[in-house]
Amino acid sequence: MSDLLGAGSPSATAAIPPVSAAEGLRLGWIRRLWPILRPQRRLVITSFLLGVAALIIQVAVPTIVGTAIDQSIASTGQRLEPYLVVLAVLALARAALSVIYRFGLYRMAYRVEYDLRTLLYRHYTGLSFSFFDRVQTGQLISRAQSDVRSVQLYLAVAPLIATSIISFAVAIGVMLWTNVGLTIAAVIALPGVYVVGVALRNRLFPLSWIIQGRQAEVATVVEESVAGVRVVQSFAAEDRQVRAMATAARRLRWANVEQGLIRARLAPLLENLPRIGSVLVLLYGGWLVIEGRLEIGAIIAFNSYIVLLQVPFRFLGFFLILGQRARASAERIFELLDEESEIVDPAEPRDLDHVTGRVEFRDVHFGYGDGPDVLDGVDLTIEPGETVAIVGATGSGKSTLGRLLCRFYDPRSGSVRLDDVDVRDLRVADVRSNVVVVPDEPFLFSTSLRDNLTYGRPDLQGRSTDDTGGPDRAADDADVPTDLRAVAHAVDADRFITAFDDGYDTVVGERGYTLSGGQRQRVSLGRALLVEPAVLVLDDATSAIDVHVEHHIHEALRAARSDRTTVLIAHRLSTITLADRVVLLDGGRIVAAGTHAELLDGVPRYREILASTLVAEEAEGTGTDGSDQPEDAT
Per-position DSSP letters for 317-353, written without gaps between them: HHHHHHHHHHHHHHHHHHHHHTPPPSS---SSPBP-S
Residue 391 lies in a domain: yes
Distance between CA atoms of residues 230 and 238, nearest Å? 11
Per-residue pLDDT at 92: 92
Pick from 544, 561, 513, 524: which is nearest to 632 by CA?
544
Are residues 406 and 435 in contact, defined by beta-carbon separation less than 8 angstroms?
yes
Residue 461 lies in a domain: yes
Pick from 474, 447, 444, 443: which is nearest to 461 by CA?
447
Residue 399 lies in a domain: yes
Query: What CATH number did the domain enclosing 587 receive?
Result: 3.40.50.300
Residue 412 has pLDDT above 90, yes or no: yes
Q: How far is residue 200 from each of residues 251, 475, 512, 589, measured CA to CA in Å?
A: 22, 66, 50, 61
- Once rounded to an integer, what is the mean pLDDT over residues 304-312? 70
My answer on whether 237 and 297 are in the same domain is: yes
My answer on whether 324 and 400 are in the same domain is: no
Q: At what angle do helices 296-337 and 180-187 cross, to 10 degrees?
A: 40
Distance between CA atoms of residues 425 and 164, nearest Å? 57
Residue 12 lies in a domain: no
My answer on whether 67 and 197 are in the same domain is: yes
Q: At what angle do helices 547-560 and 517-529 cross, to 10 degrees?
A: 10
pLDDT tens, residue by residue, 109-125: 888 888 888 888 888 88
Percent of the chain with pLDDT over 90: 13
The CA angle 548-552-557, to the nearest 5 degrees, is 145
Per-residue pLDDT at 461: 74
Residue 21 has pLDDT above 60, yes or no: no
- Share in percent of the chain as helix, strand, coil (round to 5): 65, 10, 25
Per-residue pLDDT at 445: 85
Per-residue pLDDT at 424: 94
Residue 166 has pLDDT above 90, yes or no: no
Distance between CA atoms of residues 589 and 369, nearest Å? 19
- Once rounded to an integer, what is the mean pLDDT over residues 251-278? 80
Per-residue pLDDT at 77: 56
The three-class DSSP label of residue 567 is: strand
pLDDT tens, residue by residue, 438-470: 888 888 888 889 989 988 888 877 654 444 445
Residue 2 lies in a domain: no
Per-residue pLDDT at 535: 93
Question: Among 232-246, 504-518, 574-588, where is mean pLDDT lowest?
Answer: 232-246
Q: How far is residue 91 from each of residues 55, 94, 97, 103, 387, measured CA to CA in Å?
A: 11, 5, 10, 18, 81
Name the amino acid, one letter, at 372.
Answer: P
Are residues 573 and 613 in contact, defined by beta-carbon separation less than 8 angstroms?
yes
DSSP letter at 445 equals -
Question: Among 239-253, 312-326, 521-535, where is mean pLDDT lowest?
Answer: 312-326
* Mean pLDDT (the chain, rounded): 79
**Of all helices (H) and strands (E), which one includes residue 389?**
strand 387-392
The length of the chain in residues reads: 634
My answer on whether 464 and 572 are in the same domain is: no
Domain ranges, residue 89 = 30-337
pLDDT tens, residue by residue, 77-109: 567 777 788 888 988 998 899 899 889 888 888
Structural domains counted in the chain: 3
Distance between CA atoms of residues 519 and 442, nearest Å? 10
Residue 8 lies in a domain: no
Query: What CATH number did the domain enclosing 135 receive?
Result: 1.20.1560.10
Alpha helices, H only, 136-237: 137-142, 148-178, 180-187, 190-227, 229-234
Residue 348 lies in a domain: no
Q: How far is residue 300 from each of residues 68, 220, 340, 486, measured CA to CA in Å?
A: 11, 57, 61, 85
Q: How far is residue 466 from each of residues 259, 472, 475, measured CA to CA in Å?
A: 55, 5, 9
pLDDT tens, residue by residue, 576-626: 888 889 999 988 899 999 998 999 888 899 888 888 777 655 555 544 554
Contacts of 265 (CB under 8 A, 6+ apart): none
Q: Which one is predicted more confidently, 539 or 30? A: 539
My answer on whether 86 and 50 are in the same domain is: yes
Give the other-Cβ count within 10 Å of 48's Cβ.
18
My answer on whether 576 and 502 are in the same domain is: no
- Once rounded to an integer, what is the mean pLDDT over residues 299-317? 70
Helices (H) and strands (E) in the chain, counts: 26, 10
My answer on whether 116 and 59 are in the same domain is: yes
Residue 218 has pLDDT above 50, yes or no: yes
Torsion of CA 555, 557, 560, 565, to 10 degrees: -120
Per-residue pLDDT at 297: 73
Q: Which one is predicted more confidently, 304 or 416? A: 416
Per-residue pLDDT at 255: 86
My answer on whether 575 and 471 are in the same domain is: no
- Once rounded to an integer, what is the mean pLDDT over residues 536-562? 77
Q: Which one is predicted more confidently, 617 or 363? A: 363
Per-residue pLDDT at 277: 73
- Once rounded to an integer, what is the mean pLDDT over residues 356-368? 93
The three-class DSSP label of residue 575 is: helix
Give the confidence band of 571 by pLDDT, cuts at 50, 70, 90.
Answer: confident
Question: Among 47-56, 224-233, 338-347, where is mean pLDDT lowest?
Answer: 224-233
My answer on whether 223 and 181 are in the same domain is: yes
This prediction has a pTM of 0.70
Per-residue pLDDT at 414: 93
Distance between CA atoms of residues 563 and 342, nearest Å? 32
Per-residue pLDDT at 18: 60
Per-residue pLDDT at 7: 42
My answer on whether 191 and 232 are in the same domain is: yes
What is the pairing mode between strands 589-594 and 375-382? unpaired
Residue 3 has pLDDT above 60, yes or no: no
Q: How far is residue 342 from each of residues 120, 129, 579, measured CA to CA in Å?
A: 17, 9, 34
Pick from 361, 427, 355: which is nearest to 388 by CA?
361
Last residue of a domain, one of 514, 548, 565: 514
Residue 25 lies in a domain: no
Are residues 390 and 586 in contact, defined by beta-carbon separation less than 8 angstroms?
no
What is the pairing mode between strands 359-366 and 375-382? antiparallel
Distance between CA atoms of residues 480 and 235, nearest Å? 42
Contacts of 69 (CB under 8 A, 6+ apart): 296, 297, 300
Last residue of a domain, one of 306, 337, 368: 337
Distance between CA atoms of residues 326 and 28, nearest Å? 12
My answer on whether 82 and 230 are in the same domain is: yes
Residue 452, phi then psi, degrees to nearest 5: -65, -45
Give the confidence band of 407 by pLDDT, cuts at 50, 70, 90.
Answer: very high
Burial of 567 (0-12, 13-18, 19+ CB in 10 A): buried
Residue 509 has pLDDT above 50, yes or no: yes
Q: At what angle do helices 148-178 and 81-126 cross, to 10 degrees?
A: 150
My answer on whether 134 and 189 are in the same domain is: yes
Q: For the sheet containing 413-418, what is the strand order?
A: 375-382, 359-366, 413-418, 421-422
Are residues 556 and 489 in contact, defined by beta-carbon separation less than 8 angstroms?
yes
